[in-house]
Every structure is written in structure tokens, then in C-alpha cells.
Amino acid sequence: NAGVTQTPKFRILKIGQSMTLQCAQDMNHNYMYWYRQDPGMGLKLIYYSVGAGITDKGEVPNGYNVSRSTTEDFPLRLELAAPSQTSVYFCASSQTGGTYNEQFFGPGTRLTVL
């Protein structure tokens, strides 16, 4: 199993550009999450999904959108990139939100907006 994979690993955007961060998992997990981690800071939840077709906002959703058309994929869309979106983005998945709660993280995408 590859676990949770993310592409790209690095990206530089200009202000106003858009992009999609890809996330996929092969563990058949229902729950998937997107976090951002600013330098020296903790993990802030952007969006999450409890299953295909179901998404919900986290703590910092502004400027982002998500979709979940399959169990495996959970892409994060940035529209009109701003310098404040410079961060490391982690995707994670877990089997359920109940008994089995370990979140498995992807390797991260380092995004710089100039």
C-alpha cells in the first residue's frame, strides 16, 4: 500500500493564480482531511470529508474548495492565490471518526505564493 500520496511536492504560484493539490489514499478510508501548517505553528483544518460526496468546512476554509467524488481522492482547490496561503499542506485519512481514529498523513505539499 502506498498509503496517502500528495502531488505536487513543491509549487510556486503567482498572486491570483489557481491550482489543485491532489491527494489520494489506497486504504479504503472513509474520512479524509486537509490541513495547513504555517512555519512554527500547528495544524489547522481546512476541509474534511466523511465519505464520497460529503464535505464540510474546518477552521480555515476561506480561499479553498474541495470535492470528494470517490473514496480514494480528495483534491483541494485554491482559487485566486494570495501570499497568506503560503504554507505546507497535508492531506490525511482515517478509517472512521469513531473507534479507529489514527490519522495517516501524506508527505505534504509546500506552496509558496509570490
Partner 1 sequence: GENVEQHPSTLSVQEGDSAVIKCTYSDSASNYFPWYKQELGKRPQLIIDIRSNVGEKKDQRIAVTLNKTAKHFSLHITETQPEDSAVYFCAALLWGYSTLTFGKGTMLLVSP
Site residues, partner 1 (CB under 8 A): 31, 33, 41-43, 45, 48, 50, 58, 90, 97, 101-103, 105-108
Residue 78's φ and ψ, nearest 5 degrees, are: -105, 120
DSSP H helices, the chain, are none
Q: Which amino acid is at 2?
A: A
DSSP H helices, 26-113, are none
Largest CA distance in the chain: 43
Q: How far is the CB of 68 from partner 1 (least distance, A)?
A: 13
Q: How far is the CB of 89 from partner 1 (least distance, A)?
A: 11
DSSP 8-state symbol, 73 = B
Q: How far is the CB of 14 from partner 1 (least distance, A)?
A: 25
Residue closer to partner 1 (CB basis): 27 or 43: 43
Q: How far apart are CA 17 and CA 101, in angstroms?
A: 36
Q: How far is the CB of 42 from partner 1 (least distance, A)?
A: 4
Chain-centroid distance of CA 100 in Å reads: 20
Residue closer to partner 1 (CB basis): 91 or 113: 91
Residue closer to partner 1 (CB basis): 59 or 79: 59
